[in-house]
Structure 1
């Protein structure tokens, strides 16, 4: 029977890339680890890694065992924390947009008062695939507008919001009642540093019309992005609540299409975590705070 020690063994081997390093990370001797490897391979009736391979390489059996380890061990760790400290927990949140801070930080302030024993952290989901990280227990919640049809995840809908094109008052498009995809063909479109298939303006406005902007420019800092907009050096899509009252007086906000592009913001969690008290409380607080703090949204 496969045991937890076997799963930890294969993870250590894969991470360290050699037996000696794996033994050190598990705080056992190399001889003891070699003995464990032999017993495991006898159990599986096959090798778990390729001997004398450079770089280190797992066999198909080893890869299958590693897949099991990456699935099971984080779940065991999380369950142990919930059983030993049922009033506490961990809430690492990945967010896919900078503008989420305008409602997320006030939500966290309230949440921290009500759940002081829950550890939380924030990650900007620009440099990794957030839903894959959620599945692998690297994060515990993803703020997203793109729910996946996957039974591994559950979603708390927060609110509907409209995506608007933000541009300088001097832009040639600034007086239009709404934009068509063709209006973007001669523009420089500013985006956050993610692939186009993760951007609403492409998925729900430009791609269906088979239109691309003249140029795209990736900008990480919102402050820099707004400066480029004010200088009439590009346009960008944002919800209205992502801008300050002062910024709104200096730019033009134009709907995408006659009926606009409306999206729903969700909190994605692992299916097994949906009933955790602090997860449900966070979702309720987020709805309440958003309703009070944001304009032009429809709370779900």
Structure 2
């Protein structure tokens, strides 16, 4: 049999199995759904049988698909290791990745990503610049950080912005709050409420920047460093909040508070990794970004890779 199997096919099978559907697999591979479906069709035509059951949800691999998935599990890590070794030869393996963040919830996904990255690049000094930083890019300029996690690119900065992911920000109210019966929260709903948030400037809060400020709404404010403390205040009817849906998912499953979309269009935030342009092409920097995207796609509910 002429072998037309390629590494990209194994990546497709692995992504299909891990994501549980064509749409999510295409997102992880940065392909369109039609391109992914076409690739699978070519592979099935080559082998002469189906690789997965199309009506199952999540997708279930056929015996042939399972065999290719077993092969992918064995081969893809070796391919990745070889590519990293070659990159070490080309770029050198040592360096530093001091990560500064401007969002309190970043630590929830950043730590698992760093744990995944560390054994792959043991020579790279990996660290988190402690504390919340309103201007993490400024730390790069002062040589106090190497990577900054930010909510939007700044074209005025000499940085390369790696896109990470997009996520929904939901409004949170007490289960017995009158607003809990609404289909969505609009700007006016915040007018007579206390907005509970992390202690960050107003222009860094998406709900204020994108929704409340344009509507001329200035609610009373209260802040807390901890997500669970914010939710406790919300549950006690001390105010309302607007937080990433993935960050509060475990509490919503226990019906600790009620989550509602913010406006009919829904409110979304985005995250990027800012790196000096001169360092953006380093292999370990690119691999760090890839690791962050992969671990977040696998563990954070409801996000969309950018």
Query: Take 1:117 and 1:207, find their aligned partners in 2: how far apart are those partners?
Result: 46
Deviation at 1:289, TM superposition (A): 0.7
What's the RMSD between the two structures over aligned residues? 2.0
Deviation at 1:155, TM superposition (A): 0.7
- 1:239 matched to 2:244? The reply is yes
Deviation at 1:247, TM superposition (A): 4.4
Change beyond 3 A, Cα 1:169–1:196: same
Partner of 1:120: 126
Query: Take 1:145 and 1:274, find their aligned partners in 2: how far apart are those partners?
Result: 18
Summarize the alignment of residues 255-294 of structure 1 with structure 2, pairs less than 5 Å apart.
255-294=261-300
Query: Take 1:127 and 1:107, find their aligned partners in 2: how far apart are those partners?
Result: 20
Deviation at 1:111, TM superposition (A): 0.4
Partner of 1:252: 258
- 1:295 matched to 2:301? The reply is yes
Deviation at 1:151, TM superposition (A): 4.5
Greater CA radius of gyration, 1 or 2?
A: 1
Partner of 1:144: 150
- 1:134 matched to 2:114? The reply is no
3-state SS of paired residue (1:263): strand
Deviation at 1:125, TM superposition (A): 5.5
Partner of 2:170: 164
Partner of 2:222: 217
Of the three residues 103, 125, 147, the one matched with 1:97 is 103
- 1:108 matched to 2:87? The reply is no
Query: Take 1:125 and 1:206, find their aligned partners in 2: how far apart are those partners?
Result: 27
Query: Take 2:203 and 2:296, find their aligned partners in 1: how far apart are those partners?
Result: 27
Question: How many residues get paired?
Answer: 217
Partner of 1:183: 189
Query: Take 1:223 and 1:106, find their aligned partners in 2: how far apart are those partners?
Result: 20
TM (norm. structure 2) is 0.67
Query: Take 2:176 and 2:278, find their aligned partners in 1: how far apart are those partners?
Result: 51
Change beyond 3 A, Cα 1:128–1:291: closer
3-state SS of paired residue (1:105): helix
Query: Take 1:291 and 1:120, find their aligned partners in 2: how far apart are those partners?
Result: 21
3-state SS of paired residue (1:137): coil
Query: Take 1:236 and 1:246, find their aligned partners in 2: how far apart are those partners?
Result: 14
Query: Take 1:127 and 1:104, find their aligned partners in 2: how far apart are those partners?
Result: 15
Q: Is the 8 A contact 2:199 2:224 kept in 1?
A: yes
Partner of 1:22: none
CA deviation vs aligned residue, 1:87-106 (integer Å, no higher than 9, x gap):
11111111122222222111
TM (norm. structure 1) is 0.68
Query: Take 2:100 and 2:122, find their aligned partners in 1: how far apart are those partners?
Result: 20
3-state SS of paired residue (2:214): helix
3-state SS of paired residue (2:180): coil
Deviation at 1:127, TM superposition (A): 5.0
Query: Take 2:128 and 2:242, find their aligned partners in 1: how far apart are those partners?
Result: 23
Partner of 1:204: 210
